Amino acid sequence: MNEVTIIGAGLAGSEAAYFLAEHGLKVVLVDMKPKLTPAHASDKFCELVCSNSLKSDDIYGNACGLLKEEMRILGSLTMAAAGRSRVPAGGALAVDREKFSSYVDEHLRSHPNIRIVSEEVGDLPASGIVATGPLTQGKLFEAIAAKFGCLHFFDASAPIVSAESIDMEKAFAQDRYDRGPGDYLNCPMTKEEYENFVTELLSAERTILHDFEKNDVFEGCMPLEVMAARGMDTLRFGPFKPVGLTWEGRRPYAALQLRRENEEGTSYGLVGCQTNLRFGEQKRVFSLIPALKNAEFERYGVMHRNTYLEAPKCLNADFSVKGNPGLFFAGQITGVEGYVESAASGLIAGYHVLNRALGKPSLVPPASTVIGALSRYIATENKDFQPMNANYGILEGGYEGIRDKKERRRLIAERALYEIGNFRRQILEG
Ligand SMILES: Cc1cc2nc3c(=O)[nH]c(=O)nc-3n(C[C@H](O)[C@H](O)[C@H](O)COP(=O)(O)OP(=O)(O)OC[C@H]3O[C@@H](n4cnc5c(N)ncnc54)[C@H](O)[C@@H]3O)c2cc1C
């Protein structure tokens, strides 16, 4: 059997390489390190470029916690590394980043089935896995853009909150001028609430950008805090304009609108609220809006150079390229978002490559698992395809009738873990 080529030894490439090597395939793992992208700083593989948190470790109450457990069941290297390098951080799985990368780096470099090549790759390979991340460098970036023509640059996104955490006593459904069935949820603010919000927004801590990220912000997705800096009333005449809305018999002073993120209406996006604030600050500042006082954030806004494929157009749910079943993409470049999600996509792409090599049919994990939901998300037609992280909104439904959120999430997790266990058995033993 030929060597499997994997380009990029970040979160996704490391997972895929180790998984394949552990299952007996020969792998050549190519990474430009020790040459660095503008965001990477270490010569070790599987580097966490920003925060040291892998988010919640709550298997039964958080979708990212559940995803991590699914990954453990599937034999994840990054989860093993995280277990060995964790630092106290309440309910979050935070790690000592140096120990985390070292663990992965050592396991890859010492593996008898893995050959490491230090080289900046310029061409797309004929087959294998491309996992070069949101900062894919040089000619390879150009080659991917030329072939798939659908890459995005410096970008900001808006937070998403869970529907059940919105205070519906303080929000109301209405489309502006009643032009529609009331698809939007509006979060009204008084003058005092609005001005307090703007003041706090302007003084809130932002994510520090590297030089390479300072240019080229699209006007169309300007961060809210940048827009607000133009004047106290700018948001009131922009994304928070209250015209055509009625609350308690009159037009509110300002109103933030929320738009459904999915068919089931379990998640809502904060319209026009692209932001570069630190995650904790987003929660603090947006929670000043009465309807969002207890909002639970399923995704925070982010801004960085975020290169990703318009995956539904070019990838299948097994992460292979449409029309080229031997070539796979994995990691953030596929439109999954976050460290854990990127690693998970590498792990699952590894499974599919193994299957292909063994001549077995390709099985996408069930939609009731987080890893299966993410796999489907990247391959499902979507006119406004945006990077997605683990959240309950993308999971297959089934427990909507259970009002107790804790109990519902526990059942969702139990189902997912059962299904992922079955999936593992089918793949490895079937
Ligand atoms: C600045 C920034 C901050 C982020 N912060 C967070 C955060 O705090 N939390 C979070 O969950 N997610 C964060 N993300 C998003 C995402 O989770 C990470 O980018 C994650 O590392 C993606 O994993 P990956 O495997 O897809 O890519 P990476 O981990 O970036 O790995 C890609 C690898 O490919 C190599 N490479 C690139 N181009 C080439 C080439 N041409 N030839 C050979 N090798 C190449 C790189 O050296 C690197 O090792 C951030 C992203 C960026 C860009």
DSSP state of 45: S
Two tokens, residue 17: 């390489």
134 CA to centre of ligand 1 in angstroms: 6
Look at ligand 1, atom 4, and give the residue with the nearest C-alpha: 50
DSSP letters for 65-117: HHHHHHHHHTT-HHHHHHHHHEE--TTEEEE-HHHHHHHHHHHHHT-TTEEEE
Two tokens, residue 263: 């068919």
Label each residue of 306-342 as H, E or C: CCCCCHHHHECCCCEECCEEEEEECCHHHCECCHHHH
Ligand 1 pocket check for 56: Cβ under 6 Å:
no
175 CA to centre of ligand 1 in angstroms: 39
Residue to mutate, 53, 332, 386, ligand 1, most ligand atoms under 8 Å from C-beta: 332
120 bridge partner residues: none
Look at ligand 1, atom 20, and give the residue with the nearest C-alpha: 339
Domain boundaries, the chain: 4-152+306-429, 160-302
Do the beta carbons of residue 52 and residue 94 sit within 8 Å?
yes
pLDDT tens for the chain, 430 residues long, are 689 999 999 999 999 999 999 999 999 999 999 999 877 889 999 998 866 779 899 999 999 999 999 999 999 999 999 999 887 666 778 788 888 999 999 999 999 999 999 999 999 999 999 999 998 999 999 999 899 875 665 666 788 899 999 999 999 999 888 877 787 899 999 999 999 999 999 999 998 665 444 555 545 557 899 899 999 999 999 999 999 999 999 999 999 999 876 667 788 889 889 898 999 999 999 999 999 999 999 888 877 677 899 999 999 999 999 999 999 999 999 999 889 999 999 999 999 999 999 898 889 999 999 999 999 999 999 888 888 889 999 998 888 889 899 999 999 999 999 999 999 988 777 5
DSSP state of 394: G
pLDDT at 218: 47
Residue to mutate, 339, 341, 348, ligand 1, most ligand atoms under 8 Å from C-beta: 339
247 CA to centre of ligand 1 in angstroms: 45
pLDDT at 40: 84
Interatomic CA distance for residues 283 and 73, integer angstroms: 32
The amino acid at 12: A
Ligand 1 pocket check for 125: Cβ under 6 Å:
no
Range list of H helices, 160-310? 191-203, 224-228, 279-286
Ligand 1 pocket check for 108: Cβ under 6 Å:
no
- CA–CA distance from 134 to each of 9, 224, 289 (Å)? 13, 23, 33
Interatomic CA distance for residues 352 and 360, integer angstroms: 9
DSSP state of 172: E
Burial label for 411, CB within 10 Å (0-12, 13-18, 19+), is middle
Interatomic CA distance for residues 289 and 297, integer angstroms: 14
DSSP state of 292: G
Q: Which residue, among 272, 337, 331, 332, has the nearest Cα to 298 in the 3D structure?
A: 337
Ligand 1 pocket check for 335: Cβ under 6 Å:
no
Ligand 1 pocket check for 33: Cβ under 6 Å:
yes
Ligand 1 pocket check for 136: Cβ under 6 Å:
yes
CA torsion, ordered 166, 169, 175, 181, to nearest 10 deg: 90
Q: Which atom of ligand 1 is nearest to the CA of 48?
A: 21
pLDDT at 96: 83
330 CA to centre of ligand 1 in angstroms: 11
Ligand 1 pocket check for 44: Cβ under 6 Å:
no
Interatomic CA distance for residues 392 and 390, integer angstroms: 7
The amino acid at 251: R
Give the pairing type, strands 154-156 and 303-305.
antiparallel
Placement of tokens 């920003």 in the chain: 50
Ligand 1 pocket check for 133: Cβ under 6 Å:
yes
Ligand 1 pocket check for 358: Cβ under 6 Å:
no
128 CA to centre of ligand 1 in angstroms: 19
User: Cis bond leading into 366, ω under 30°?
Assistant: no
Do the beta carbons of residue 54 and residue 341 sit within 8 Å?
no
The CATH T-level fold of domain 4-152+306-429 is: FAD/NAD(P)-binding domain (3.50.50)
Packing angle between helix 339-357 and helix 11-22, nearest 10 degrees? 30
Q: Which atom of ligand 1 is nearest to the CA of 55?
A: 11
Give how far the C-alpha of residue 184 lies from the chain's centroid of Cα atoms, to the nearest Å: 24
Q: Which residue, among 54, 52, 55, has the nearest Cα to 41 in the 3D structure?
A: 52
Ligand 1 pocket check for 234: Cβ under 6 Å:
no
Q: At a CB cut-off of 8 Å and minimum separation 6, what does 429 contact? A: none
332 CA to centre of ligand 1 in angstroms: 7
Q: Report domain 160-302's class.
A: mainly beta
Is 206 strand, coil or helix?
strand
